[in-house]
Amino acid sequence: MLFDVLVAALVAGVAITGWRLARRLRALEERVGEIRSLGRRLDDMRAGLERGLGVTRAHLAAVAAGEAPERAAILRGSPYQDIKPTDAFGLWERTPGLFVLDVRTSGEFANGHIPNAHLVPVDELEDRLGELPPPDTTMLVTCAAGGRSTAACQLLGEKGYVRLLNLSGGMHTWPGPQVREATAPPSAPPAPAGTTVSFRGGPVTEAQVVGAIQDCFDPEIPLNIYDLGLIYAIDIGESAIAVKMTLTSQGCPSARTIPEDVRQKIVALGQPNVQVDVVWDPPWHPSRISPDGKQKLGLA
């Protein structure tokens, strides 16, 4: 009986000791985790300070060379600054080895790019940093309209690049020569009178959107609605496409089906965010029909 009591007491003592040791071990693990987390934060702070010092040194070097960055870029400690198209062109002309980074898609690049530019799409940039020159190299970064190049400059700045020039307005404002490759998609056909087409970047080209719309027909007229002059405006952005159109009359029996057909055909290009608005001002008139359309209808 006494032996059983002693064994039970011993087991209880061992259990209590084990429990206390487990608690201490958990506490130690928590402390170690806190120390590691603090170490990571210190590493991040150290890296941030090093990047900041690198930017400051680059700014001072530019000032010493008589090429002071914009005041706003200095105040915010930015690793990049925006550069006007004319200034960018002048820099490109007098700097034969200037590294030009184009962060658009391969299709956009093929359709027209700055001579000797290097293509690295922005969504691949972080994985392809090894293809870029050293971080202290002056680099002109461009895209279609400036949005993706800004994102690229921010990413590169986080990776230690300190001499970045972001082309304001992108390739839409580039005043210099461009190289168009043989594999480039065909250009969009001329727009009918009163139709405006704006391309501000993105994976879907102007020619693709116009081609999709040319597959849409008014059932009462044997002519596609683009050449018929029903499209007033096409705005192609990096994340959305907007179309403003009209119909031959407010009583058109296809008032619902035609706009939806336009939307679906553009969506099929791979851009799901498509908006088609029908307007009645100004009203459609046969004078809006394109020259090619007039020939097809025997009106030329």
Residue positions annotated with a catalytic role: 143
Distance between alpha carbon 206 and the CA centroid of its chain, in Å?
A: 17
Q: Give the position of tokens 């034969």.
A: 96
Whether 146 contacts 174, CB under 8 Å: no
Beta bridge partners of 241: 236, 274
Strand residue runs (E) in the chain: 80-83, 99-102, 118-119, 139-142, 164-167, 196-199, 231-236, 241-245, 274-278
What is residue 101's DSSP assignment?
E
Whether 190 contacts 207, CB under 8 Å: no
Residue type, 64: A
Gap between the Cα atoms of 247 and 261, Å rounded: 13
Distances (CA, A) of 219 to 62, 255, 257, 265, 285: 64, 11, 10, 16, 17
CA angle 72, 75, 76 (to 5 degrees): 85
Whether 131 contacts 107, CB under 8 Å: no
Q: Give the position of tokens 């150290």.
A: 46
